[in-house]
Amino acid sequence: MSVMKDKLIVLIMLSSALMGCNGNSSDEGASRPDFVSTGDGVSVVQESQLAKKIKVALVEPQTMDMQFRTTASVGAKSGFIADIGLPFGGRVVRSFVKLGDQVGRGQALFEVNSSDYMEAVKAYLESRAASDLATANQRRKETLHQRGMLSDREWEEICAETRNAENACEIARRSLAQFNVDPNNVHAGEPLRVVSPIAGRVVRNNLVIGGYLSEEDDAPMTVADLSTVWVTANVKDAQVMGLAIGQKVKVEIEAGLQAEGKIYYLGELLDEKTQTLPVVIECVNTDRLLKPGMFVSAVFERHATSALIVPSSAIFQGEGSKFVYVQDSPGHFIKVQVITENIEKGRSRILSGLSGGETIIVDGGIYLSE
């Protein structure tokens, strides 16, 4: 009986011990979150496995050579392209050039019969003749006036007639300005010779001999000098700050083809839609590789620039903006919006949002969004 009692006591003690162990395990095994989010703040439990996965680093300015590229479009240089049209109606009767011809400034391109032009020439020639006659008459009567043989009233009337004739001649001469002709070399009945306002090459020619052109028609001919062109790149406002007029820029046309240019103009009016500024690059185009309307890439170099460089793994995409986790105390981080640019694989430059000296999460931050 004594042995049986001893065995029974041992079994009761083991059962009590097991029950006690199970109760403690239940209390200690209650789930606890690794981190807690409150607004833009995140608190990470220091003793959690998550805390071991998160790596932080100090953001400090670095001096380094950098470059960035952006899309750009090719266009003719201002003042080096001209659409040759008519501000009046007329019929093309003759052409002096063909597509691809090199022409000089003031060189005749084609002739047009225009009633408007002929009327303007007629009016000018008549008013010029009337002005010349009035001037000659005034010169003859001036001597008579000086000798007292002509009254002051009569002399004033003669001078007024001369002024009126000169004014009418000037008005007629100015009306010829729209035809871009030399008033001293016009002749009644002759067709208008349309001349090129610039030196260049005929890059478009849609003339039809015998065809009628009205002032509403598109210009039938274009002359352009494309030996130098403008390449316009759209650059973020923060990136423009590191550029300067005269700085060299590489323009990539396609695989294996490229040109070099210099910054001609830095834009000052921000495009609100794209948040970019136009940067105009002037390129020598001797080989005619750059064609107006072509899309290219502009590669800008920035030497010895102080910048905040962080691993791309530190940057996260939020709703409409990017952000990084900035540590403000051990285990506590705040989301801070930033503007960035990729400078090379795995690294990005902070354009705004950080000033340097902040400690941020550089690895493991992805777990905070799970």
Better-scored residue on pLDDT, 255 or 1: 255
Cβ atoms within 10 Å of 129's Cβ, excluding its own: 12
Confidence of residue 107 (pLDDT cuts 50, 70, 90): very high
258, HSE (Cβ side, Cα atoms, 13 Å): 11
Pick from 53-57, 193-197, 256-260: least confident:
256-260
Q: What is the pLDDT of residue 264?
A: 96
Q: Using the predicted structure, report yes or no on whether residue 2 has a pLDDT greater than 60.
A: no
Better-scored residue on pLDDT, 175 or 325: 325
Tell me what the mean pLDDT of segment 188-210 comes to: 93
Type of residue found at 204: R
Q: What pTM value is reported for the model?
A: 0.59
Cα–Cα dist 104/126, whole Å: 32
Per-residue pLDDT of 115-162, as tens digits, reads 888 998 999 999 999 999 999 999 998 888 888 888 989 999 999 999
Q: What is the pLDDT of residue 161?
A: 94
Average pLDDT, the chain: 86
Q: Kindly give, in sequence order, each residue whose CB lies less than 8 Å from that of residue 312, ignoring residues fewer than 6 positions away.
A: 342, 346, 347, 348
Better-scored residue on pLDDT, 2 or 192: 192
Q: Using the predicted structure, report yes or no on whether residue 257 has a pLDDT greater than 90.
A: no
Q: List domains and CATH numbers for the chain.
A: 35-64+306-369 (2.40.420.20), 68-78+225-304 (2.40.30.170), 82-113+197-223 (2.40.50.100), 115-190 (1.10.287)
Q: Using the predicted structure, report yes or no on whether residue 166 has a pLDDT greater than 70.
A: yes
Per-residue pLDDT of 293-346, as tens digits, reads 999 999 998 766 678 999 999 999 988 899 999 999 999 999 999 999 877 778
